Structure 1
Amino acid sequence: MRYDLIIFDNDGVLVDSEPISNTILAAYLTELGHPTSYEDSLRDYMGAAVHRVHDLVMERTGRSLPADFDDTLHARVFAAFERELVPVAGVPEVLEGLRSEDIAYCVASSGSHERIRVGHRKTGLDRWFPDEIIFSAQDVGRGKPAPDLFLHAAERMGVDPSRCAVVEDSPLGLAAARAAGMDVYAFTAMTPAAQLAPASGHFSKMPELRALLGQRDGDRSTHR
């Protein structure tokens, strides 16, 4: 293994939450008078912390979202998670492989700690992620695409950024990982590889990740 720490994004990488959360976000924004399609939500907000929604709506319309926007959005998303959320196929096997080889890993997500834990409890991934290896944009001043969250995770895990690999599925997350000086492997199950072009490698099915992580610098290949 080339790396001392594997940092996973959460939504869309560990748990299959992006279709659920972006459907709800688009519908809620539309309900509030900000017409938003599912595709719009994926383009503008996938991989971002909720403050980006406030920022873009204000920038585009000059109007603030309601004071209870975050609470209402989270309540709707969490209720849907309880009904529908599943882990991304192949994730438990990847985590089992890392653990068996004693390779450190953690999660660094734009979502809140509560969102991460709700999703992990529902999908059974909580057995792989104790509190001390869960990092959220809540922990830092700036979320993705700033590098702060990934650098915070590396520092807390005691690993130099150059020895970290990030697993991401959004352009914002990829930009954050590169800004942190980390290699980043792009999961293309939902985002076309062309939108994640600067990644160290691409893969569309989770079992392909282990081979990519183990390759030497000159031997990386791309799986689509």
Structure 2
Amino acid sequence: MPTTYPTPKLVIFDCDGVLVDSETLSNQVLADNLARYGLHLSLADCMDLFVGGTMAEVRQKAIARGADLPADWVAEVYEETYARLRQGVSLVPGVSDLLALLQERGIAFCVASNGSEDKMRITLGQNGLWELFHPHAMFSAHTLKTGKPDPDLFLAAACHFDVQARDCLVVEDSENGAIAAARAGMRCLGFDPHGKGLRLTRHNAEHITTMAQVPHLIGL
């Protein structure tokens, strides 16, 4: 007998690494920047340490590992990151088809990110998605002053759409995002296209490697 999967009333997407393939670009900028301040990390180490965190948390972790960062470092690294992203960032393969299917089936969706709206304007804007999410389906830690792994971003999205947590689905690529989904009481698909998703599945996320898997897993 085939498995029956629940269809959510709201799908909540992370942005970087889920909607847009920006994590590698952003973390290479970060690794290059930190090297100038005495902390030498490989791209892989940088991503393991920092993906899914706020930049304030990144700063604290970097200082704890020996980086000598100036007081205005967060603004500096944002400027360098935005400049790199403006050069071009692609959508994650399959995202456009998935969003079109959700629209066709009348299922609400939104983005909830630890990143800023300015960053999402750059990454989503150059791919034609800014107007799809902004302003009524966009939840930023910078705006709401709360970030993952706290569940507040996800709960704010559910409240905005008048949907119960049990009827939400989160699509995340970071451990902080998976933790936030678990704390919010929401089902989570953990997107890890090149690995086994262990940092996600240990927080009850279901591992996926492509966006093409999502429709089946939500009963569409």
TM-score by length of 2: 0.90
- Residue 61 of structure 2 is aligned to residue 32 of structure 1: no
Which residue in the other structure is 2:63 paired with?
58
Match of 2:133 among 126, 129, 136: 129
**Shift of residue 191, structure 1, vs aligned partner:** 4.9
Q: Take 1:17 and 1:190, find their aligned partners in 2: how far apart are those partners?
A: 15
- Residue 168 of structure 2 is aligned to residue 164 of structure 1: yes
Q: Take 1:143 and 1:166, find their aligned partners in 2: how far apart are those partners?
A: 15
**Secondary structure, counterpart of 2:133 in structure 1:** coil
Distance 1:22 1:190, change over 3 A: farther
Which residue in the other structure is 2:3 paired with?
none
Q: How does 1:9-158 map to 2 (within 5 A)?
A: 9-61=14-66, 65-158=69-162
Query: Where has structure 1 moved over 4 Å in runs of 4 or more?
Result: none
Which residue in the other structure is 2:183 paired with?
179
**Shift of residue 71, structure 1, vs aligned partner:** 2.0
Supply the RMSD in Å over aligned alpha carbons: 1.7
Which residue in the other structure is 1:219 paired with?
none
Alignment gaps of 5+ in structure 1: 216-224
Distance 1:191 1:78, change over 3 A: farther
Which residue in the other structure is 1:201 paired with?
206
Q: Take 2:170 and 2:184, find their aligned partners in 1: how far apart are those partners?
A: 10
The Cα offsets for residues 92-150 of structure 1, whole Å up to 9 and x where unpaired, read as 11000001111000000010111111111112222422211110111334311111211
Q: Take 1:18 and 1:12, find their aligned partners in 2: how far apart are those partners?
A: 5
- Residue 12 of structure 2 is aligned to residue 7 of structure 1: yes
Distance 1:7 1:167, change over 3 A: same
The Cα offsets for residues 152-179 of structure 1, whole Å up to 9 and x where unpaired, read as 2212222111111100011111011101
Alignment gaps of 5+ in structure 2: 1-5
TM-score by length of 1: 0.89
**Secondary structure, counterpart of 2:207 in structure 1:** strand
Q: Tell me, yes or no, if the aligned pair for 1:27 and 1:37 is still in contact at 8 Å.
A: no
**Shift of residue 68, structure 1, vs aligned partner:** 2.4
